[in-house]
Amino acid sequence: MSIPTKMNALVLKGVRDFNIESVPVPGIDSDEVLCKVDTTYICGTDPHIIAGDFPDFWPTGYPFIPGHEWSGTIVKTGEKASVLGWNNGDRVCGISHCGCGYCEMCLKGRYNICLNYGHEEKGHRQYGHYTPGAYAQYMRSSVKSIFKVPDSMSLEYAACVDPLSIALYTVERSRMKPGDDILILGTGPQGLMAILCAKALGAGRIIAAGSGERLKKAEELGAIPINYKEEDVVSKVEEMTNGNGVPSVLECAGTVKSIRQACLAASKGGVVSVIGIPHADPSLPLKRIVLDEIELVGNRANPNTARRTIELLANSRIDLTPLMTHKFSLKEFDSALDTFENRRNGAIKIATKPNG
């Protein structure tokens, strides 16, 4: 395949200042591949990066190419990547985290909390956050951050592996066992994907707290709905469980109120698995957390769950099609972002197509 010297990319030049520009196609190192991007989904983090909500962190500077939920085809392979079994023509999907591979956390398999985070000179990357990402026609990636896509799976479908594997990690960290009830606070894309993962792993009753169209979608996916705008979530959960609470709680809303509710709705000895990030630190019911041995578990990204996520999708244990709602060309990113941020026409997962 002939590789051009220039490509179209979404270039972020400042706070909410972006445009589609022609930029050089990136070169690659020995352990990297260059991919022609098929699909890049809008993640809930992307609007925050675009809005400058993480100054000097995500990104560390401008200009910058965001985007990290992606899939594509390898068109150029580094020497070491080739030795490791990667070839031109391989269909792949990517995740955002790439650990250095050498620190204590990486050696434990916890590369999502790599001790060399932010030090690209030591081998760390986080694509679409502070390392250039996938809102572009071509994507440069370490082989540590890509996974082969089965021939039976479309690349558009596979581009959701990153967020779905985060949802899987969050469910697993709640230590939910088959038959256990689980409460999921928040019915955005992560909450809805968590419903699908909990169902695939054999949850008993799946209770979802949310509102509006997304709560209706949660019910369609098999969850018991609680409208937090009309009902007290903790009281409703107590009513449904004879006052015991649920053993596994997932906090996917990221609000001060919902994190506190999660701790109060958990059963004795329960686990609260948190993926939402609030704008302010909540006031936690520590007396209850201590006396009832409630465990509060933080989750960052998706270490070691992407391959299992691909298997769940390939074997039809999870069907993502109800969440894949919109599709735009990359040149229409303005409209795509507006549709995502304002939840227009039932928007949940919005695909962008850098190569048309």
| pLDDT at site 109 | 98
| pLDDT at site 61 | 97
Tokens of 84: 């490791």
The answer to whether 237 and 182 are in contact (CB under 8 A) is: no
For residues 78 and 30, give the distance between their C-alpha atoms in angstroms, rounded to a whole number.
Answer: 4
For residues 174 and 186, give the distance between their C-alpha atoms in angstroms, rounded to a whole number.
Answer: 16
| pLDDT at site 252 | 98
Positions of the chain with pLDDT under 70:
1
Q: What angle do CA 124, 130, 135 make, to 5 degrees?
A: 115
| pLDDT at site 209 | 98
| pLDDT at site 42 | 98
Asked if the bond preceding 63 is cis, omega within 30° of 0, the reply is yes
The answer to whether 197 and 168 are in contact (CB under 8 A) is: yes
Environment class of 100 (CB within 10 Å of its CB; exposed 0-12, middle 13-18, buried 19+): buried
Phi and psi at 343, nearest 5°, equal: 50, 45
| pLDDT at site 119 | 98
Number of neighbouring beta carbons within 10 Å of residue 27: 10
CA nearest neighbour of 354 among 165, 161, 158, 156: 156
Domains annotated for the chain, with CATH where assigned, are 6-160+320-353 (3.90.180.10), 164-298 (3.40.50.720)
Question: What is the model's pTM?
Answer: 0.98
| pLDDT at site 200 | 98
